[in-house]
Structure 1
Amino acid sequence: MKKGLLMLAAVAAMVFTSCKDNNASEKVDEENAKEVAERDAKSDEFAKMTFEEEMHDFGTIQEGDVVEHTFSFTNTGDAPLVITNAKGSCGCTVPSWPKGEEIAPGEKGEMTVKFNSKGKPNNQMKTVRITANTESGQEMIKIKAFVEPQAKAASGNPVQ
């Protein structure tokens, strides 16, 4: 009998706490729906970085050389481009970019990448990851070089 009363109380609690208004969708304000639709349509607009070249080859350089290259790009997207960060794959690769600037659709921009070859002999391939308001959120450019090793003296120290 106790089980029956508990069961009846549980069913009654569910009935009283269930949703009484099955027409909630009719209560949506049409103006709010239009605003949400417009906002969602605008969120499909992204900036797009289109580089003239995505990889630069420095060719053969001497170990210890510091070389740099400027990558040119155009914002071919629908929204102003904002670059929030750029980071090299190691400390020897340092990018610089237009910080705090918006690059309007159709406008050009530049990113300079410096590479310090000290202690980096032979083939080198480095990347720069760019964080921006593009659709993927990250873009990438690359540099490469063959670093001619410094001649070593008999003691193992480089010849100067």
Structure 2
Amino acid sequence: MKKIFLATAFFIGGIALMNAQEIEISESNVDLGNIKYGGKAVSTVQIKNTGDKPLIISDAKASCGCTVPKWPKDPIAPGKSAPMTVEYTTTSKAGAFNKTVTISSNAVTEGRKIFRIKGVVEANPNAPTTAATGAKK
């Protein structure tokens, strides 16, 4: 009796997973390239629902305050895609950066999906230089 119950439970669970919403992101690593100090860079990724039920993005959080994700608020229909924009604002220092954006959704197998953004902030042209070397501080 237990074997029949377990087999039925696994079968029903398998069907539930097959008929569910799933998430796919067009790019898992976004390269923003070089950004002028004090400037902004914006990139758009496509979020696709590869399942057969509506996909709902409940939240998107960046690993820092300099990165702002804007996600679709309406459900994404099965087989359809919707854009998510990510804006990076250079705020305090020059050099390479590598940030993450975590998307929370009702996807069955990956309720949390992470993608990375990277780039290089160019040196501040107005930064003071040292007299001896001419190097930026």
- Report the AA paired with residue 103 of structure 1: I
Give the corresponding residue for 1:20.
none
Are residue 132 (structure 1) and residue 105 (structure 2) matched?
Answer: yes
- Report the AA paired with residue 120 of structure 2: F
Give the corresponding residue for 1:92.
66
Q: Distance in 2 between matches of 1:69 and 1:138?
A: 20
Name the count of aligned residue pairs: 121
1:6-45 aligned within 5 A: 40=13, 43-44=16-17, 45=19
Gaps of 5+ in 1: 1-24, 26-33, 156-160
For the residue of structure 2 that corresponds to 1:139, the secondary structure is: strand
Q: TM-score scaled to structure 2, two decimals? A: 0.77
Match of 1:153 among 114, 128, 131: 128
CA deviations on 1:39-62 (whole Å, 9 max, x unpaired) are 745642332222222221111111
Match of 1:63 among 24, 28, 37: 37
Are residue 118 (structure 1) and residue 91 (structure 2) matched?
Answer: yes
For the residue of structure 1 that corresponds to 2:91, the secondary structure is: coil
Match of 2:20 among 22, 42, 46: 46
Gaps of 5+ in 2: 2-7, 131-137
Are residue 81 (structure 1) and residue 55 (structure 2) matched?
Answer: yes
Identity of aligned residues (%): 36
Whether the 8 Å contact between 1:71 and 1:112 is mirrored in structure 2 is: yes
Higher relative contact order (CA 8 A, sep 6+): 2
Q: Distance in 1 between matches of 2:10 and 2:31?
A: 47
For the residue of structure 2 that corresponds to 1:81, the secondary structure is: coil
Whether the 8 Å contact between 1:46 and 1:133 is mirrored in structure 2 is: no
* Range moving further from structure 2, 48-57 or 76-85: 48-57
RMSD: 2.3
Q: Distance in 2 between matches of 1:58 and 1:95?
A: 14
* Range moving further from structure 2, 103-112 or 37-46: 37-46
Larger radius of gyration: 1
CA deviations on 1:47-97 (whole Å, 9 max, x unpaired) are 222222222111111111111111112211232100000000000000001
